[in-house]
Amino acid sequence: MNAAARASEHAGAPAGSPAVTLLWLESTREGVAARTHLDGTRARLASAGIPIAEVITAETSVGGILGKLRRLGGLVRRARRAARAGGVLVGRWHPFFAFVAPRWLRRGGGVVLLVQGNDESGYEANPWLRRVPGIRRLMRRSLVDASAILTVNAPLRDWVLAERAAEGAPAVPIAVIPQVVSRVFFEAEPIERDGEFALFFGGLALWQGIETLLAARADAAWPAELPLVVIGDGAMADTVREAVAARGDGGIEWLGALAPAEVARYAAAALVTLCPKSASPSMAKVTTPMKILESVAAGTPVIATDIPAQAEMLRDGYGILVGVDDHVALARAVARVHADRDLRAELAAAAARARAALEVDGAASLLAMMIVDVASGRSAESR
């Protein structure tokens, strides 16, 4: 972080506020969820007047397993050197966090852990982790060593409690804090295009339901004149590329990875966005898909698969649920939204009502309170 950025983040901090070190061991390149989470955490701390002493992360994720391990080792060493009495380490949960937290605690610091998913989400995002000896133990130690924990939803909080109980860990403050959505989705000007379109955006990962999405576009129930626009890159990129080539009529447009501000413009202009996630172990109960929240922030309705976590999100009325892996139901839902203007208006109005809860300032006080409590050494019982 340069001097100007550091000065800006310290501006307005109340006297005696604990200095915070942020540690993100995942890649925080632009456009990935970890980067959105990091930027949102920084914004929340700035809003609360909590100074940030250092941000430790890496924006690259290139290289094989050995390259990633070397990068992780470098970040871990930096974070261990930064440990100091009275300081607070705030970090995104990662198994290698277990190599950092104990050093901070021994030196009189505190640790606030931000948990965005369970252990299965780590395996799905990084299959190579399964081949690392003792990785499951490291994951659990990361949860046990924290002074306080924030999760993004109640099922994930319950999972954390169960993991800690299995280790006989003492009680610490554990609370739910909403995901952060980038300002660009609140402020986006809709991109100008001829005609309506349905949109999928996000990583083209195996659990995103890409095959279901493409099968829905090919189904007779999908409105012939409504193109599917796909934004993103990842493991299923070749599948998308092949579908585009096979159609040859512009019915599917794949734009690859775009900057968040450009993604937001497409989200704001879309007729509907699609989230056909599969019911994988990490998705069924504890996921909080950023694409759903970002669509809401942009004021756009959502069609999502009926897995428990997504069903809970759509209780606010801004979307439609369809069966998992059911491409016909997905195609019919798209057709319904396309044909029914009153339904579109109803869903968009619900999105507008729900978007206020996604503002950065909404949960800044909870994060700040937890940091201050950890820095002052308050116990869970004193809260």
| Cα(246)–Cα(249) distance, integer angstroms | 9
Q: Does an H or E element contain 70, and which?
A: helix 65-81
CATH of domain 183-358: 3.40.50.2000
Distances (CA, A) of 92 to 26, 113, 117, 122, 321: 8, 6, 10, 12, 30
Q: What is the pLDDT of residues 170-185, one digit of tens each?
A: 999 999 887 778 889 9
Determine how many CB atoms are found less than 10 A away from the CB of residue 210: 25
Which residues of the chain are under the pLDDT cut of 70?
1-16, 31, 61-63, 121-129, 281-286, 359-362, 378-383
Check residue 180 and give its pLDDT. 74
| Residue 222 phi, psi dihedral angles, 5° rounding | -70, 135
Q: Which ranges in 188-236 belong to alpha helices (H)?
A: 210-218
Check residue 312 and give its pLDDT. 84
Check residue 9 and give its pLDDT. 40
Question: What architecture is the 3-177 domain classified under in CATH?
Answer: 3-Layer(aba) Sandwich (3.40)
Q: Where are the domains of the chain?
A: 3-177, 183-358
Check residue 156 and give its pLDDT. 86
Check residue 15 and give its pLDDT. 47
Q: What is the pLDDT of residues 94-151, one digit of tens each?
A: 888 999 999 999 999 999 999 988 877 666 666 666 777 788 888 889 899 999 999 9
The model's pTM: 0.72
Query: Same fold for the domain at 3-177 and the one at 183-358?
Result: yes
**Among 247, 251, 250, CA closest to 331:** 251
Check residue 6 and give its pLDDT. 35
